[in-house]
Structure 1
Amino acid sequence: MEDGGVNARDRDGEGRARSARPRDGLGRPLAYGEPGVQRQPEGVVRTPAETVAEAQRLLDAGMPFHAHEVFEDAWKSGPEAEAPLWRALAQLAVGLTHAARGNAVGGARLLRRGAEALALAGPETASARGGGPYGIDVPGLVRWARELALRVDEGPAVDAAAQAPQLAYRPDRQDPA
């Protein structure tokens, strides 16, 4: 029995099962009545620039689970040809989520899977300077994910905010040639 003896699953307005439990910054469910962080609304259609900006804000705040939901909205609402890009970015965010929760095996696996998917999704649109579609630093994110996966394999949970990647290409962060 949950929530004062009510023995029913939470439902949304259309009758689908949808947990109403609050969640922490890493998306873990908390007990009913506990303070949690505001959840990301689902199904929001954003421009690619808005998607990158909102996901970066959430990553910087140590909320990669919520950033994954932003990427998921982009892959589900955008052009089919762009779905692999957004799905790969969502995998990276979920990998960081698992790593921050202390799930080293799952975190490293998802970081590697996301890195491989992103490497395949972005090269045809990447510029010679290393940028990718919508200014996304595809090579930098692939490198970040692979390096973080190695660190996750070796140690304890990571701090999601401290390990947050920079999504957009920045010339001042380019590796020397």
Structure 2
Amino acid sequence: MDRDRDRDEAGRARSARPRDAYGRPLPRGARGEERVPDDYTAPPEEALAEAQRLLDTDRPFHAHEVLEAAWKAAPDPERELWKGLAQMAVGFTHVRRGNAQGAQSLLRRAADRIAAYDPAPYGIATMPLAAHARQVADRIERDGLDAVTDQDLAPSLGAIVS
């Protein structure tokens, strides 16, 4: 077992290293972005609002962490929806990291998962989001990463947020 790696009480690997805005690890001791806590939990509406805020501020990796926490806490009938939303945020993260193939793959997988939910709970705009994820993936395939705009990486989740 790698003793230098951060681990939780059960011995599972975790990463406590600081990260940049796109989730890339920084050297230990560097000043990184504020992280989503490992034990983050929130009601679905709150998780959607936080994920939207993070997408709107160009922090797709962190939005993914929020959506992943919601996916892991979701009841079985909703898990694939949350997984798809998390995958979409990771696809956007791959765009920011310059990984065209990873972005296309994750955005298409996300679109398939998200599109399976119509109507969706919590006011999530599944059909527009699925179409958007496919359009961005197609544009990357056709025109490259430079064709993706900042607005493309912050779609409205369509959640009803108070």
TM category, shorter: 0.7 to 0.9
Distance 1:138 1:91 in 2: 14
Identical aligned residues as a percent? 51
TM-score (norm 2): 0.87
* Alignment partner of 2:127 out of 139, 147, 171: 139
In 1, are the aligned partners of 2:123 and 2:159 still within 8 Å (CA)? yes
Deviation at 1:163, TM superposition (A): 2.3
Match of residue 174 from structure 1: none
Distance 1:159 1:32 in 2: 32
Deviation at 1:14, TM superposition (A): 4.1
Deviation at 1:19, TM superposition (A): 2.0
In 2, are the aligned partners of 1:100 and 1:160 still within 8 Å (CA)? no
Please, which moves more after superposition, 148-157 or 109-118?
A: 148-157
Q: Measured at CA, do residues 161 and 25 of structure 1 come closer, stay the same or move farther in structure 2, by a change above 3 Å?
A: farther
Match of residue 38 from structure 1: 34
Please, which moves more after superposition, 102-111 or 15-24?
A: 15-24
Partner of 2:68, secondary structure, is helix
Match of residue 163 from structure 1: 153
Distance 1:93 1:23 in 2: 16
Two-structure CA RMSD over aligned residues (Å)? 1.9
In 2, are the aligned partners of 1:118 and 1:138 still within 8 Å (CA)? yes
Distance 1:156 1:88 in 2: 21
Deviation at 1:95, TM superposition (A): 0.7
Aligned residues: 156
| Aligned positions of 1:50-89 closer than 5 A | 50-89=46-85
In 2, are the aligned partners of 1:96 and 1:160 still within 8 Å (CA)? no
Distance 2:151 2:27 in 1: 24
In 1, are the aligned partners of 2:8 and 2:14 still within 8 Å (CA)? yes
Gaps of 5+ in 2: none
In 1, are the aligned partners of 2:136 and 2:152 still within 8 Å (CA)? no
